[in-house]
Amino acid sequence: MSTPFLLFHDICHYHPDINAIVTSKETLTYAQLYQKVLGIAARLSQSDSSRIVICMGSESDAYAAMFACLMLSYQYCPLDINSSEYKKQQVIDVYQPDLILCNTDIFSDYGIPVATTNTNEWGKNEAEKHVARAVNPNTIAYTIFTSGSTGKPKGVQITVAALANYLKWVKLDFPLKTGLRWSQFPNIAFDLSVLDIYGALCHGATLYPLSTQFERLFPARFIERSQLEIWNSTPSVLDVILQDTKTTHKQLESLKLVTVCGEALQETTLDTLFTICPDIKVQNTYGPTEATVSCSKILLTKDNYKRHCFGSAAIGRPTTGMGFKLDPIQNTSDLYELIVYGIQVSTGYLHRPDLNAEKFGEMDVDGLPQRYYRTGDLVTKKGEDVYFHSRKDLVVKVRGKLIDIAAVERYYQTLLDTPVFIGSSTKVSIVFVPTGKKGAFSATLNQAKKILESQEVPNYCVEMDHFPMTENGKINRKELNRLANEKLP
């Protein structure tokens, strides 16, 4: 098995002068980045710290620390420097690290050793000897935290073998070349960043993190200025780019491929994107954090996307080493819970044996045992395509009756040809629409009452300039529900 670190090692040695990372503050070649990795690895190898929290922004020190941990077969946990203090404390309490790598002093009161990368303590020595060390493929590469419906963080453990298999897919399905200009919008604690960091730096591409607030507020300008060729984000972030009336073909024309993951990719989003950039290619991917970022894909173009859309885009076929099982939902004719299985499935949640027994297990596939994960995602089929339908936890009660939030959103998104989201409480549901769309929504009320159940018709319509999003670039359901509660009579 060619490990992720060895892929990176070989790139650094064969293409040392190619730019590895370009930010507003620094530009590092692969040779320079490798020296930084060696320095951190040398320091870590002199201690007993094998469980590392890396708490930084999108910067070269963070990426170097990740590769240093892989080099030493240490495991790490990425933590967003901009997360709330409460979230940081929760993650650290569960992960119980030996050391925190951070370029600030915000962890001085946590009772855990802290090392900073902006001092001379790292030095340089014979760290290169660790490159040849044999790696157990079942070694944990990283633990990344995700919150469930309760908000309690769950530490998802990903092995070296799972990450290596994921990178095989990148090599097969991305237009790789040395110096390829690749974005990084997701923060390092969001698993979607794994695609950018390892996809780029293990294949000789140049990583362009959006590291300033201005860049993140106006990503289309950043794409044009950096002449990016790969863009990777959630569909919600892509919608922000496309809903900006100032976004032009010229700003996006350098892009060869847009990859999205984390949410359903709406047909209306593709309509807009292919109108602005008819020659672009879109890779829609699906996958929970528990299956190493993503485990299925479908390539969409302006010529084929309509055939693979049913309100939203199909989630595609499983990637190499992965598979799907559709588990029928009782009392429905066309809904299934999606079970994913294969080499990329996590070893389980850290310190959660009860939840592991519920969500993970082994199944026989063609005579071979395969580890599986119950996703909690409901899907439907149309022909050979599989479509995301809703989350089990997005079926809620309003006025004593069940509402499938995702189904109502899809109805209005198709009807209004725009992104639409629902917030709910036990008494009301509210539809949130982009500014300027309230009149269009009001005009559909009579039609909606003929199609939807009475409890599914929203009580209010609220216009928003920007939909609330989580730190991971997904729609913030909790905030929408909070806003819905504010409208209680």
Render pLDDT for 124-148 as a digit per residue (tens, 0 to 9). Answer: 555 666 665 668 899 999 999 986 4
83 pLDDT higher than 70: yes
Least Cα distance to 250 among 233, 270, 269, 225 occurs for 225
Q: What is the DSSP string of 406-441?
A: HHHHHHHHHHHTS--EEEE-SS-EEEEEETT-HHHH
pLDDT band at 349 (very low <50, low <70, confident <90, very high): very high
- Structural domains in the chain plus CATH codes: 1-156 (3.40.50.980), 323-384 (2.30.38.10), 399-486 (3.30.300.30)
What pLDDT is stored for residue 397 in this prediction? 60
334 pLDDT higher than 90: no
DSSP 74: -
Query: Cα–Cα distance between 167 and 194 in angstroms, integer?
Result: 10
Query: Cα–Cα distance between 228 and 278 in angstroms, integer?
Result: 17
Question: Do 76 and 65 meet the contact criterion of CB atoms below 8 Å apart?
Answer: yes
Sequence-distant (≥ 6) Cβ neighbours of residue 361 within 8 angstroms: 371, 372
What pLDDT is stored for residue 197 in this prediction? 98
What pLDDT is stored for residue 75 in this prediction? 96
Query: Cα–Cα distance between 461 and 433 in angstroms, integer?
Result: 7
104 pLDDT higher than 80: no
pTM for this predicted structure: 0.84
The pLDDT of 145-157, averaged and rounded, is 75
Compute the residue count for the chain. Answer: 489
pLDDT band at 63 (very low <50, low <70, confident <90, very high): very high
